[in-house]
Amino acid sequence: MSEEKEMTALNASVAADAGQSSHMKCVNIIPDSVDNFNGDDDISSDIPDIAAPGYLPVISMSELYDSTFDAKPAIIEGLLYPGTYLFVGAPKLGKSFLMLQLAYHVSTGTPLWGYKVRRGTVLYLALEDDHPRLQSRLFRMFGTEAAENLFLSTWAKQLGGGLTEQLEEFLAKHPDTVLIIIDTLQRIRSAGGDKYSYANDYEIIGSLNALAAKLGVCLLLVHHTRKQQADDKFDMISGTNGLLGAADGAFILEKEKRTGKTATLDIVGRDQQEQRLFLEQDTATLQWLLDHAETQLWIEPPEPVLQAVASLVTPEHPVWTGSPTELLEALDLDMKANQLSTKLNVNARRLLSEHGIRYRRSRNHAGRQISLELVGRDDA
């Protein structure tokens, strides 16, 4: 082909328990539709009939390795990613104060408890509060330093009754939105029906997963625990296991004594390390402070290929384009060209987040081409 074709993924996603997190986007092998396909070859003569009774989309391991997945970076590195998360705790435990704290830190880009934060617009649907209470809490927590890109609302429509359209309209006006907090999940659930069945709970979170993927944001849903204790803290989430089963992750805030100022925050997710944080609420500001973490986060060891690319693509030479073989020669690495391509395909997200270098593949009349561009970590 003479016309260059982009190989980076489109924003397709597989929600719920299909095996792929909603913050990873599918690329070029199995299309959701013809418009979603970005493969190397012309598929006009070989479009799969997805309506056929026996149609099953499959991908080989080699094809998977030959694909590039476009992943959105973390909202809070190690804690919160694009997708749908539950934030659960008993009533009147301090969840809303922590939600305001998360919202403020993300909207200002201020690190939280030592975790790196990506700055972006935040929408907080405080559906159990009013404006005077929000004003008082925010002033007590953060003083006069207001965040221009933190937006709050005390009313929203229900899921299936206009909420999706409201959020889409907000995103159209604020395309840099990265986090939407819904406090609480119960306020947006439609009334009636078999709403406490596993299937219904799973469907609700699944629909929110699809919405989060469509909008490219993190939806953080505040919810309550049930009164009964359980050996597994996450079994205390009110409702059925369908809520956690369909979500990308969950947080549980728990106090040993309701009148105490200390709490534990347990965290679980599809693509992140399980953690337990020990928190203490400041008496003056009511902000939650980190006392200590039960375990340290695992850090990926350095990848020599990425370090070599970072030495090649620099502020003095911010763009490099060529074939895999030419890149291998430029990097002076002892491996085959196809091995280099596989490493870059698998580590494209890491190359962007750690080194600020965007990796793209394409094909033209000369064959496969690789494009490396220094965009900076702030633009990742």
> Given this model, what pLDDT does residue 259 score?
83
Query: 327 or 49: whose pLDDT is higher?
Result: 327
Q: Mean pLDDT, to the nearest integer, of 93-115?
A: 95
> Given this model, what pLDDT does residue 25 score?
42
| Cα–Cα distance, 166 to 170 (Å, whole number) | 6
Q: Which of 173, 177, 251, 167 is nearest to 210 (CA)?
A: 167
Q: pLDDT tens digits, residue range 156-192? A: 999 989 999 999 999 999 999 999 999 989 899 876 5
* One-letter amino acid for residue 349 of the chain: R
The H-assigned helical ranges of the chain are 61-65, 95-108, 131-142, 163-173, 185-188, 198-215, 242-246, 304-312, 324-331, 337-346, 348-355
Give the model's confidence band at 34: pLDDT under 50 very low, under 70 low, under 90 confident, else very high.
Answer: very low
* DSSP tally for the chain: helices H, then strands E: 11, 15
> Given this model, what pLDDT does residue 46 score?
57
Its pTM stands at 0.76
The CA–CA distances, whole Å, from 304 to 191, 200, 343, 347 equal 55, 47, 10, 11
Which of 14-18, 100-104, 212-216, 299-303 is the most confident on average? 100-104
Query: 130 or 195: whose pLDDT is higher?
Result: 130
- Residue where the block lists tokens 């089963």: 245
| Cα–Cα distance, 152 to 126 (Å, whole number) | 7
Q: Where are the domains of the chain?
A: 5-71+300-379, 83-293
Q: Edge-to-edge strands of the sheet including 319-322?
A: 5-6, 357-364, 367-374, 319-322
Q: What is the mean pLDDT of the chain?
A: 83
| Cα–Cα distance, 262 to 253 (Å, whole number) | 10
| Cα–Cα distance, 54 to 166 (Å, whole number) | 39
> Given this model, what pLDDT does residue 296 score?
77
| Cα–Cα distance, 84 to 73 (Å, whole number) | 15
262 φ/ψ sector (left φ>0, alpha ψ -120 to 50, else beta): beta
Q: Mean pLDDT, to the nearest integer, of 334-362?
A: 91
Q: Does 281 score more than 50 pLDDT?
A: yes
> Given this model, what pLDDT does residue 238 score?
62
How many CB atoms sit inside 10 A of residue 379's CB?
A: 10
The CA–CA distances, whole Å, from 185 to 75, 158, 220, 225, 243 equal 21, 10, 9, 12, 11
Q: Mean pLDDT, to the nearest integer, of 302-326?
A: 94
- Please write down the HEC assignment for all residues of 185-202: HHHHCCCCCCCCCHHHHH
| CATH number at 83-293 | 3.40.50.300
Q: Measure the CA angle with vertex 55, ends 51 and 58; round to 5°.
A: 130
| Cα–Cα distance, 307 to 220 (Å, whole number) | 35
